[in-house]
């Protein structure tokens, strides 16, 4: 690899700011969710794809891909949500190894009650502070980063 190419001072500062945004935004959104609806970010992340799926059912492996979690983390989280009545686990008819996760009526009611406050918090912390041009730059940059990661895989 030759000499390591360190980040310049400006790039290092922007990288630290990105890491801080990731950490602080995650915490702030979770505080709002817990306070106003008793859900965690992890609950919310799983309830969204379930509420958007046909019949509220998603294969557990697919849920893991959607949220980017390892199997053990996903399984613990689903277990906690099952105890609270938000989801149930079911066997998969076509594939004996694959289990399915189904949103319960209580889970659907929870995500529907939580969504407006969560969206309002995303607007307040992020989008209400951005110009249309800044949103365009973010869109371009985010997709470019995703493309570079995909090219490298």
Binding site for a second copy (CB under 8 A): 1, 4-7, 10-11, 13-15, 17-18, 20-28, 67-68, 115-117, 119-120, 122-130, 134-135, 137-146, 148-149, 152-153
Beta strands in the chain (DSSP E): 57-59, 87-91, 99-103
Q: Of 67 and 92, which has the nearer Cβ to a second copy? A: 67
Minimum distance from residue 35 beta carbon to a second copy (Å): 12
Minimum distance from residue 106 beta carbon to a second copy (Å): 21
Q: Count CB-CB contacts under 10 A for residue 110.
A: 23
Minimum distance from residue 24 beta carbon to a second copy (Å): 5
> How many angstroms separate the CA atoms of 135 and 141, rounded?
10
Tell me if residue 101 falls in helix, strand or coil: strand
> How many angstroms separate the CA atoms of 38 and 77, rounded?
15
Q: Of 6 and 97, which has the nearer Cβ to a second copy? A: 6
Minimum distance from residue 94 beta carbon to a second copy (Å): 28
First to last CA, the chain: 19
Q: Of 6 and 96, which has the nearer Cβ to a second copy? A: 6
């Amino acid at each position: 690899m030759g000499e390591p190419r360190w980040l310049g001072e400006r790039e290092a500062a922007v990288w630290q700011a990105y890491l801080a945004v990731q950490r602080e935004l995650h915490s702030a959104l979770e505080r709002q969710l817990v306070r106003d609806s008793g859900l965690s970010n992890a609950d919310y992340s799983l309830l969204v794809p379930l509420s958007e799926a046909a019949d509220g059912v998603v294969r557990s492996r697919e849920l893991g891909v959607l949220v980017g979690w390892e199997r053990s983390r996903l399984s613990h989280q689903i277990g906690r949500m099952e105890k609270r009545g938000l989801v149930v686990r079911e066997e998969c008819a076509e594939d004996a190894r694959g289990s399915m996760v189904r949103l319960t009526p209580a889970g659907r009611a929870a995500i529907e009650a939580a969504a407006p406050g969560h969206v309002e918090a995303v607007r307040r912390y992020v989008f209400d502070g951005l110009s249309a041009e800044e949103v365009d730059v973010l869109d371009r940059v985010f997709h470019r980063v995703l493309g570079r990661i995909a090219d490298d895989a």
